[in-house]
Structure 1
Amino acid sequence: MTSLSNQAMLPGPQPELRALFSVRTLLLGCLFFLCFLPFLTKADTDSLQHAFLERWTTRDGLPHNTINSIVQTDDGYLWFATWEGIARFNGREFTLFDRSRATGLPDSGIFALHASHSNTLYAGGSRGGLIRYQDHQWQPLPAAGALVRAVLLDQQQRLWIATESAGLWRQEPDGQRYRIRGDTGLANEAMYGLAAHPDGSVWAGTAEGLFQISGQGVRHFRNNDGLPAGPVFSIAHHRELGVVASTEQGVFVGNANDGFQLLDSNLTMPSSALLVDDATLWIGTLSDGLFRYNQQGLEALGTDSNKPSNRILSLHKDRENSLWIGTNGGLFRLRHAPFTSITTQHGLADNFVRTVLPLADGSVLAGTSRGVAHIRQQLASPFEHPAPLLRESILSLAQDAEGTLWFGSYAHGLLAVASDGSSQLFDRDDGLWSNEVRAILPAKDGSLWIGTSRGLNRWVDGTMQQLDTSSGLPGNYIMALFQSSDGRIWIGTGTGVAWWQDGTISAVDLYRQDGAEFAFGFLELPEEQYLWMATDRGLVRLNLQDNSLGVLGRESGLPFDKYFQVVADTSNNLWLSSNRGILQFSLNDARAVMAGRKAQLPFEHFAEGDGMLSAQANGGSNPAAARHPDGSIWIATAGGVVFSQPERLKSFSTFIPPVVIEQVRIDGDWVAPQHRRELPAGTQRIELFYAGLGFVMPQHIQYRTRLLGFDQDWVERGHQPYTELTNLPPGQYDFEVIAAYPGGDWSSEPAVFSFYIQPHLWQRPTFWLLLFFAIAATLLWLIRWRIQRLEQAASELKRQVAEKTAQLQQKADHLQQSNREKTELLEQLRLQSEAFARQARQDPLTGLANRRVFDEVLSQEVSRSQRHQHPLCLALIDIDFFKQVNDEWSHAVGDQVLIRVGQSLLQQCRSSDTVSRWGGEEFALLLPETRLPEVLQLCERLRHEVSQLDFSDLAKDLHITVSIGIAECKEQLAAEHLLGLADKALYQAKANGRNQVCISP
């Protein structure tokens, strides 16, 4: 980025043009500037150099990389015109509308879009096709005869249509269409752009220049009006500058009365797209990138390979103040993200940053793989000192009470730089265990603690003391040092945690917390007596009063194991850095989970899409993250230094994303999400897919749903953008969904899908009333008929009773004996049959389903998954080193191990899952209706539970672990292929060292 102009006042691009404005205009402009100066300064002084730039291409779902036009409709959707149709964007995915019977477009090539009131969209195509989209319906309009370059609906609801070779047309509200002609052109002009002026006139850019169409007629602006000869590509209206026109020779501004002049002498290249955003003018060029013009002057957004240096065709500012840039090389977005990255582009010597240290003067030191950078006002420069070590790989930083800066290097020891610039180097010759210094702690008593890769040093009174495992440390690889409020020095190593106090080292049994070993960082909060530790098994909390421990890990809802640094912000939140992004969660929620008042910890997960060049935060050196005196959080990553201002993060949540119901599926059939729909009797499954139309943090949008007539209150859906309703009884229902950013307000107007499930005939009240009368009448007739029959039969029965009594008495004894024998025989046969059936379908040792049953179920579930597009996953489980169990403790012990592992797997699974013995020491789990993240969580729990099984009654030192391979059934995937994928994942888990879960790619 380069600043090309330093003009202080916005009104007027050149002194000559400013002289043409009236005194009244100047006074109003000055008044506006003085009133809104604080706001404008805040809004427009943010450098483009630190804005977050993203890009989408056909690889991300766009139908074509040329973006001809961009608009946003009232409902919040973004629409993009391409040569392969119209793409609608909800923040997460694109939906394509192209030439089809549903749209009625004569061709998929779309050039012009215009968004009007009431969610109405107008589109013009390459064959003159025109179409209007409203209320989920496409309505073709009469064709324009040539490529439509621009469409505009003015205040009088007249539709203006600019074409490439058929001139300019105006369609009245009654549908009548007229060609606009002028004495100096417009009959068959090649049109480029249209713009509505506040005075009601319409301005048109053509191949022959600029035209104004008003009640006085058509006026053509030529050279004598200040415009160069040639085409005008784009037009905009600026409240201070007037009419803005982009030409082959730059951007010109002016008005119909005073003429036009060049906006800025540094902006004379061909410009193709314009956008006015309040007091800011955005300018897209044909080959020189993007420019911004405001009261600070002219600023350019570079032209390197990562920026929109292609031909810029369209610009749009959405409701969250993100700038969308359409080029012939893809779609770009320029915005302020939750995180800001400082990289080599901003002065870092290298993007691989290991440690950060905020200083009292507001600047920040960053240790990179190529030396120390000094960051001021978000720009970096090499730390000003001649010591060669400061240009090497730096692992740790610290500043003591006297202002001395300490720099720990990867291979050259420890450097101290005093406030007067003098320096001193410490290395192995001075008593350091190693020249690889990963942690530095200036203690309150004036001593200096130095953590190296081979042990711990304590520099006190000019003496270098050495501490290692022989001194009581759990390990010699020191990664973190911290002094708590009670004076204890806490030491984080690769094999546990210890503290030093009064010359004695005491170890913490960290391994009891889910097997934690590595301690990467510490945090103590002043309002509580706890020490938080970032470890390789989550966030461990130690009570400083009784040294008791607790852990927030996977079982508490954290998405992965390893975390490097824990930092508290000023808003009562904790931040965790990791290899897979940055987590933020409420400290109160963490306390509630630790106290058992909450089962799962809600959190926000930030990654590349939130402004980071790389989601990989670095650890193993300190400090890897820190809180700046201004409250911002700074983190060392593999893609530079990133920082986030929590207060600014809250500003993103002030926008309430509108929410829409995008799709509805009824018993497998897609239907339009109309406001009300009648569903047939017997409807079993209703699937609703919705989207919060927020584009700054779409992956963080949260949802709540409510089914009126069923739910008493809102149901929290988290980030899940769909809901499934099953087995609803007949009746009227209203499904409502609202959305919000984390910490923000919820939608005031929910998106609604109303439906009525018709009852079966037998569920209708009239049916039951008629049925009641019919049954009553039938019963009366049957009673009367029965009484008559009984009376007739009574006498006959009396006669037959006496005759048959004797015969029956004789036979009774014989039949009683015969029936008893038959009953016993039938019971024996039934028991034998059931035993044979179980033996045929059960594994005789474990009692689980055998291979035959599993093959049958696998084939059925794969077919069902692909037919109904339901999720299905398969996990193969292998007992690690099982042969050693048989060899060392006997096959009888091995059989008991198989039985207990099988029962443990069965207890952890649902009744709908299939658990079988696959063969030998292998088991198979078939998990229908389960997605891959849920299966991964289940398998991690299974692996943990098996590792905790107690076999001490079989053998004293017998411990069992398992390796698991997971595969997900995808479209057109055969059962044999699914087994092969799971088997490969299982092999990968065993190849990686066993006792772990691997997912098939």
Structure 2
Amino acid sequence: MRYFVFFFISLVYPLIFKIKGQEYDHYFRNYTVSQGLPSNSIYALAKDSDGFVWIGTSNGLSRFDAYDFKVLRKSDPHVQLPDNEIMAIENHPEGYLWLGHYSSGLSLFDPKSQKVIANYQIDSQKHPLKDNRILSLYQEGDSLLFIGLHYNFFQMYDIKRDTMYDYSDKLLEEKKIASSLHNIHSFNSDPYDKNILWICTGAGLVKWNRKSGKFDIFNYNNDKISTSLHNSMRYIVFQGDSAMFIGSWGGGLIYFNHKRNTWKNYIYDNRLPLNGTRNIIRKIARKSDSELWIATHDSAFGVFDIASNKFFFYKHYPDDMYSAINQECYTFLNELIGAVWIGTSNGLSYLHPSNQLIQRFRLSEGNTLFQRTFYSYEVYLDRDKNQLYLGNRDSEYFDAIHLNSETLISYPLPGLLTITKILKFKDFYYIFTFRNGVYKWKNNKFTRVKISQVNALNQSACYTACIVRDGTVYMATANKGLVIFNEARNFYKEIPTSEAGLSNSALENGIFTVFADSEERIWIGTLPGLAVYEPKSGFKFKQTQKGNVNSLMTEIRQIYQDSKGMIWAVSASSGIFGLRVKRDTIQILRHINEKGILFSDQLYSTAIDKNDKIYLATPIGIQVFDLKTNTSLLLNYSNGLKPYQSIIKLHYTPDHFLNLSLNNEIN
């Protein structure tokens, strides 16, 4: 039975490899100010309609786009933030974001223009607030926004009617309700009764019947806990139509049956005395029918198993960079796929759910790669030896991973080299470098390839290469066009891109990719376009197309051939093109782009399997497109890839896919 294994080579952090006998079921990707966050104190998280994660911190607003953090602060006049401390973020039905500030009220923020378009404070002429300190926001449907205040209960803004309703202390006094209901932490619509809104406050749980206008307050009394802080309710998860779980400050997790008015609490720290400095749960959410996500003040992030009434926590270990980032969690954002973004007092964490699609490898500290920065441009799988070879950037090592024994060996290179391509020919490997020549690797020894007295090979800035049956090598270079050599025949030749009519002043003689098809025609992809080289007659093919797509076929980065002989050219900006050669003409038969069925026109690489499924590397994951059925599937972090995984290279063999990614580990 054939199977697929996904390997990821990282580009930013040290390489990781699995320690024998030690399994890591959960992986945290951690971010701090070192990666670009404006502050390590994360108070609020939200994802906008375009999939960007917005982060409210103690020192500004930040947007994460899978690669970088864009920081927005009050000091930027374009942004117009009233202050830098963002306590709450909520999605507006029209794609905007509501921002709740610690001392400057409520803002309406446009993610597209990245600026505040409205602000509401105590002294606002229109829709004034009763308190500038906002602790929580809750958007119900496409009309109502609930605003949790620090001192004055809450207010409700009706977007459609453009009306602000006041439920501050004055209203409570009129209804003879205690005015101590400050610190509004969350709002929860009752899924079983649309008229009921549950409100978690610093002094108990409030039930508001919007139809009758009645407010009921529920308090939990537990003599074992020597503080009233356990009535500071934080978040609710409904458990059927009559009960709920409540995260509390000091009382742990509380189970409340509101129809019977019965309470039960579950604590994770049994040390005496039981007081308000432990068993603090800041937020809870549904993980599954039988489990809850738990964010605590003192025991990191974890899970509560409802059937067994037990807690499990992802602890922080200082010597493990892939453990939870901190013990103190402020908030989290859980996604439908089971992944979770976690805001802590020491940065942002991303927890990916366990997924059998991914196998992770962790490098032991004894390995030489553990302490050095690791960048990979090339990966090659030797199926006969079941070994994975890694081509690194600016490295003194050539790395081989033995997949059977899960061990890694680093072979010293004859200098500081950037390896861009690895090709096997007969019983040795060609190792191509960027501006440092070509090497042969045989019996764990490196020798430089020399063609008579020609030294130009050593200066060729090689991007990639291909080899044909007689051993002739075709190199795509950044500076010498198409370079051809045959070591056995002592042959060397340079062909400038101008001979193919593809010269471009922006990248003179630069070729991104080269590919030998089944008839040993050589296809080259460049910034201006694509050409085909026939070894006997040179560049003789002309381009035609169906429809007006010829001008779009630029920035050709990868070229492959399917089982029917069709050539597929991958453009970095215009999708993919299905091509064939007929007589002396290149015909463009298909053009697949974002306007049709692609998730993104930005394509880094492609691979085609034996069933003519095209695997496309995009900024948002791997798209699998079936040429026979015209259907597609997106493989991203919901299928086991790291968050917003950006794959820059794919390679297909009958049993494996190899993926060279912009993130940093082998999976």
Q: TM-score, normalised by structure 1?
A: 0.41
Is 2:426 aligned against 1:426?
no
Corresponding position of 1:168: 204
Maintained 8 Å contact 1:67/1:82: yes
Corresponding position of 2:232: 192
Maintained 8 Å contact 2:254/2:265: yes
Corresponding position of 2:308: none
Q: Which amino acid aligns with 1:168?
A: G
Cα distance change of structure 1 residues 224 and 65 upon mapping to structure 2, 3 Å threshold: closer
Once the two structures are TM-superposed, the CA of residue 334 in structure 1 deviates from its matched residue by 5.9
Q: Which amino acid aligns with 1:387?
A: L
Corresponding position of 2:483: 456
Corresponding position of 2:465: 440
Q: Among the aligned pairs, what percent are the same residue?
A: 13
Maintained 8 Å contact 2:99/2:107: yes
- The 3-state SS of whatever aligns with 2:584 is coil
Corresponding position of 2:34: none
Q: Which amino acid aligns with 1:384?
A: S
Corresponding position of 1:148: 183
- The 3-state SS of whatever aligns with 1:385 is strand
2-side partners of 1:364 and 1:404: how far apart?
Answer: 13
Q: Which amino acid aligns with 1:396?
A: K
- The 3-state SS of whatever aligns with 1:485 is coil
Corresponding position of 2:563: 526
2-side partners of 1:327 and 1:196: how far apart?
Answer: 21
2-side partners of 1:399 and 1:499: how far apart?
Answer: 23
Corresponding position of 1:695: none
2-side partners of 1:46 and 1:220: how far apart?
Answer: 28
Cα distance change of structure 1 residues 230 and 119 upon mapping to structure 2, 3 Å threshold: farther
Once the two structures are TM-superposed, the CA of residue 126 in structure 1 deviates from its matched residue by 0.8
Residues 78-97 of structure 1 aligned to structure 2 (within 5 Å): 82-83=101-102, 84-85=104-105
Cα distance change of structure 1 residues 372 and 323 upon mapping to structure 2, 3 Å threshold: same
Once the two structures are TM-superposed, the CA of residue 409 in structure 1 deviates from its matched residue by 1.3
Given candidates 515, 524, 539, the residue that maps to 1:482 is 515
Given candidates 268, 271, 277, the residue that maps to 2:287 is 277
Cα distance change of structure 1 residues 91 and 212 upon mapping to structure 2, 3 Å threshold: same
Maintained 8 Å contact 2:283/2:331: yes
1-side partners of 2:497 and 2:92: how far apart?
Answer: 69
By relative contact order (CA 8 Å, sep 6+), the higher-ranking structure is: 2
Maintained 8 Å contact 2:432/2:439: yes
Per-residue CA deviations over 1:628-668 (Å, capped at 9, x if unaligned) read 656768356xx557999xxxxxxxxxxxxxxxxxxxxxxxx
Once the two structures are TM-superposed, the CA of residue 408 in structure 1 deviates from its matched residue by 0.6
Corresponding position of 1:127: 151
Corresponding position of 2:55: 56
2-side partners of 1:204 and 1:625: how far apart?
Answer: 45
Once the two structures are TM-superposed, the CA of residue 483 in structure 1 deviates from its matched residue by 2.0
Maintained 8 Å contact 1:399/1:405: yes
Corresponding position of 1:984: none
Maintained 8 Å contact 2:516/2:523: yes
Q: Which amino acid aligns with 1:47?
A: Y
Maintained 8 Å contact 1:494/1:517: yes
Cα distance change of structure 1 residues 425 and 207 upon mapping to structure 2, 3 Å threshold: same
Is 2:418 aligned against 1:385?
no
Per-residue CA deviations over 1:886-920 (Å, capped at 9, x if unaligned) read xxxxxxxxxxxxxxxxxxxxxxxxxxxxxxxxxxx
Q: Please tell me whether Structure 1 or Structure 2 has the larger radius of gyration of its CA atoms.
A: 1
Once the two structures are TM-superposed, the CA of residue 548 in structure 1 deviates from its matched residue by 1.2
Cα distance change of structure 1 residues 102 and 356 upon mapping to structure 2, 3 Å threshold: farther
Maintained 8 Å contact 1:415/1:425: yes
Corresponding position of 1:720: none
Once the two structures are TM-superposed, the CA of residue 546 in structure 1 deviates from its matched residue by 1.4
Cα distance change of structure 1 residues 74 and 325 upon mapping to structure 2, 3 Å threshold: farther
- The 3-state SS of whatever aligns with 2:390 is strand
Given candidates 307, 310, 334, the residue that maps to 1:317 is 334
Maintained 8 Å contact 2:465/2:474: yes
2-side partners of 1:65 and 1:212: how far apart?
Answer: 36
Structure 1, gaps ≥5 residues long = 9-40, 234-245, 248-270, 592-601, 618-623, 645-1001
Cα distance change of structure 1 residues 358 and 290 upon mapping to structure 2, 3 Å threshold: farther
Residues 116-265 of structure 1 aligned to structure 2 (within 5 Å): 122-132=146-156, 136=160, 139-141=165-167, 142-143=171-172, 144-151=179-186, 163-164=201-202, 167-168=203-204, 170-171=206-207, 173=209, 174=212, 175-178=214-217, 180=219, 182=221, 184=223, 189=229, 191-194=231-234, 195=236, 198=239, 200=243, 205-206=248-249, 228-231=273-276, 246-247=279-280
Q: Which amino acid aligns with 1:323?
A: V
Is 2:140 aligned against 1:106?
no
Corresponding position of 1:47: 27
2-side partners of 1:223 and 1:54: how far apart?
Answer: 31
- The 3-state SS of whatever aligns with 1:387 is strand
Cα distance change of structure 1 residues 641 and 464 upon mapping to structure 2, 3 Å threshold: farther
Per-residue CA deviations over 1:147-184 (Å, capped at 9, x if unaligned) read 224456677887665544xx336446451545748584
1-side partners of 2:243 and 2:338: how far apart?
Answer: 27
Corresponding position of 2:64: none
Maintained 8 Å contact 2:620/2:644: no
Maintained 8 Å contact 1:275/1:315: no
Cα distance change of structure 1 residues 67 and 45 upon mapping to structure 2, 3 Å threshold: farther
2-side partners of 1:168 and 1:299: how far apart?
Answer: 30
Maintained 8 Å contact 2:145/2:159: no
Structure 2, gaps ≥5 residues long = 1-12, 32-50, 62-70, 73-78, 173-178, 306-310, 364-368, 504-508, 637-641
Maintained 8 Å contact 1:354/1:368: yes
Once the two structures are TM-superposed, the CA of residue 384 in structure 1 deviates from its matched residue by 3.0
Maintained 8 Å contact 1:432/1:457: no
Residues 322-721 of structure 1 aligned to structure 2 (within 5 Å): 322-326=339-343, 353-357=376-380, 360=383, 361=386, 363=388, 365-370=390-395, 372=398, 384-388=410-414, 392-400=417-425, 402=426, 404-418=428-442, 421-427=444-450, 433-435=456-458, 436=460, 437-450=462-475, 453-454=479-480, 456-459=483-486, 462-469=488-495, 480-490=513-523, 497-501=531-535, 505-508=538-541, 520-530=557-567, 532=569, 543-550=580-587, 567-568=607-608, 572-573=613-614, 575=616, 625-627=650-652, 634=659, 639=662
Per-residue CA deviations over 1:365-402 (Å, capped at 9, x if unaligned) read 3443436556799xx9976323335x5211222234x4
- The 3-state SS of whatever aligns with 2:469 is coil
Maintained 8 Å contact 2:543/2:585: no
Cα distance change of structure 1 residues 98 and 521 upon mapping to structure 2, 3 Å threshold: same
Maintained 8 Å contact 1:500/1:506: yes
Cα distance change of structure 1 residues 120 and 446 upon mapping to structure 2, 3 Å threshold: same
Maintained 8 Å contact 1:372/1:382: no
Maintained 8 Å contact 1:343/1:640: no
Corresponding position of 1:866: none
Q: Which amino acid aligns with 1:468?
A: E
Once the two structures are TM-superposed, the CA of residue 425 in structure 1 deviates from its matched residue by 3.3
Maintained 8 Å contact 1:283/1:290: yes
1-side partners of 2:119 and 2:96: how far apart?
Answer: 14
2-side partners of 1:581 and 1:225: how far apart?
Answer: 45
1-side partners of 2:573 and 2:141: how far apart?
Answer: 54
Higher strand share: 2
1-side partners of 2:302 and 2:420: how far apart?
Answer: 39
Q: TM-score, normalised by structure 2?
A: 0.57
1-side partners of 2:276 and 2:303: how far apart?
Answer: 22
Per-residue CA deviations over 1:289-339 (Å, capped at 9, x if unaligned) read 756789998465989899975963222424454534455799887669xxx
1-side partners of 2:215 and 2:594: how far apart?
Answer: 66
1-side partners of 2:184 and 2:199: how far apart?
Answer: 8
Maintained 8 Å contact 2:255/2:264: yes
